[in-house]
Amino acid sequence: MQEREGVQEKCGQDSFSGKLKTGEDRDESFNEPCSSEICDESVSKKHSKKLRYPWKSTSKSSKQSSSLNRRSSTQDAVRSETNESGNVSRKESNDSFPRLTLGEEKDVSMLWQSDILPQWEKKRRSKKTRALVYAGLPSHIRGRIWFVCCGNQLNLTPDLFEVLVEQAHRIRKAQKHRKQQLDAADGDVGGHGGHVEALHNLSVDGSGSVRHSQQLLTHCFAIELDLPRTFPELAFFHCEDSTYYTSLRNILEAFVCFRPTVGYSQGMSFLAAMLLLYLEPFPAFVLFVHMMSPASILAQFFSMEMPRLNSYFQLFQYLLRSELPVLASHLSSEGIEPEMYFLNWVMTMFSRVLSLDATSRVWDMYFYEGDVVIYRTGIGILKLLQSSLLSKHFDEIASMLTRSLQSFIEVEPLIESIKSVNLSASRFRDKLAEHLPKNQLSASKRRSGHTRSESLGTSLPASFK
């Protein structure tokens, strides 16, 4: 179980740029290389079977639970405070988060599986369901609940996923063969009549399908560079013979083939890796596609179109001034703008600045309520750090907000801070409408709040049934 314990350890991070880079131009500070101590022979081979499902039990009951969701990396997240008499108490910030009874606290997992999930259409908007989400989903069914919240609107199938994975594999194999031919050919590129000239023209100036393959290869090369540096302290994402490494590469490359116009950008590997902690590859791919849908605010950040991004930054600045006017004024006076830190936070969905436990809790809320959670979380983080930030100047603030915040932020205070942010889904939609150009508004509104769960189906993969 040593490998799984690493999931809860801290991962140091630095700031990054979301643009696709290759070769020497690529942002090396984005993540750290895998250490030889972590990815040694004993991890990559001796424990190869254990790495895939190291938490999996062989008992019948465990297998039945495993069929629902086999991904688990953190403790069951039912957060409570227990006094000396053994009674459970919970601090509530407002009436939107009603107190859970003692019985519900003790048996949240059963409550989800026997009551809420079978009646999801009826129960999903209830205050009690919302309270359960904000209390933290049980880790062994977290992935299943994430999937139910989002559904499979595009009706993606396991067969399609396998086809996309195979397509990427063929492209990489063909490129390797073409490179070998180029290395062995005679003649100089740019000369007259050499065999290498013909091969070069075939790979660059050939048919549209070849050009398309070259584009995919560029993204696949970027993926290969980032894989060993995703979650630096989680060994099973770094070793090439690990199932996690293979699954992570397959999801990212399949997405590149599925949405070549979007491609791959730094940060995406962290999103896919988070999904793989709780889901099998195919449902993880479905949710990744969902997160990267054209209507998603998250996808807009990966587009790196500055006029559009500036609208989202201006919205964040407006909400920050509304919620924390003193801090907003201080940050502005020090020259700290949202694009200096908020871009980093969003493009990895807070997985590089928060602990995995805290990130999982934020993702619980995100899949349940939508893009409004991104802004609530950003403001909630600054709310927790406000007293410290007010005493700092530009260099210290910039350093603090662009690095890991795990040593400054604990899980429960963060959740309470997020809950206390005065930003409802309806208010978020209204303010989004004020800040976005009209041609961007209709798409974004579909992802800004509860409208997400109302418009998406909740069909489950066969492995969940």
Count of domains observed in the chain: 3
Among 292, 306, 287, 285, CA closest to 260: 292
Domain boundary residue, one of 292, 318, 350:
292
277: pLDDT strictly greater than 90? yes
Confidence of residue 73 (pLDDT cuts 50, 70, 90): very low
Do both 311 and 413 map to the same domain? yes
Q: What are phi and psi of 272, to 5 degrees?
A: -65, -40
452: pLDDT strictly greater than 50? no
Q: Which residues contact 95 (CB under 8 A, 6 or more apart)?
A: none
Question: Higher model confidence: residue 215 or residue 229?
Answer: 229
Measured distance CA(253)–CA(284) in Å, rounded: 13
- The answer to whether residue 465 sits within a structural domain is no
Confidence of residue 357 (pLDDT cuts 50, 70, 90): very high
Lowest mean pLDDT among 134-138, 280-284, 419-423, 432-436: 432-436
Q: What angle do CA 15, 301, 132 make, to 5 degrees?
A: 90
- The answer to whether residue 47 sits within a structural domain is no
* Full residue range of the structural domain in which residue 115 is found: 73-79+95-136
- The answer to whether residue 117 sits within a structural domain is yes
Do both 211 and 359 map to the same domain? no
Do both 247 and 376 map to the same domain? no
Do both 115 and 203 map to the same domain? no
pTM: 0.72
Mean pLDDT of 370-375: 96
Do both 324 and 282 map to the same domain? no
381: pLDDT strictly greater than 90? yes
Domain boundary residue, one of 259, 274, 292:
292
State which H helix or E strand residue 134 sits in.
Answer: helix 127-135
Give residue for tokens 């988060």. 97
Do both 330 and 390 map to the same domain? yes
Q: Largest Cα–Cα distance of the chain, in whole Å? A: 88
Question: Higher model confidence: residue 176 or residue 401?
Answer: 401
Check which CATH number belongs to the domain holding 364 and give it: 1.10.472.80
pLDDT given at position 180: 63
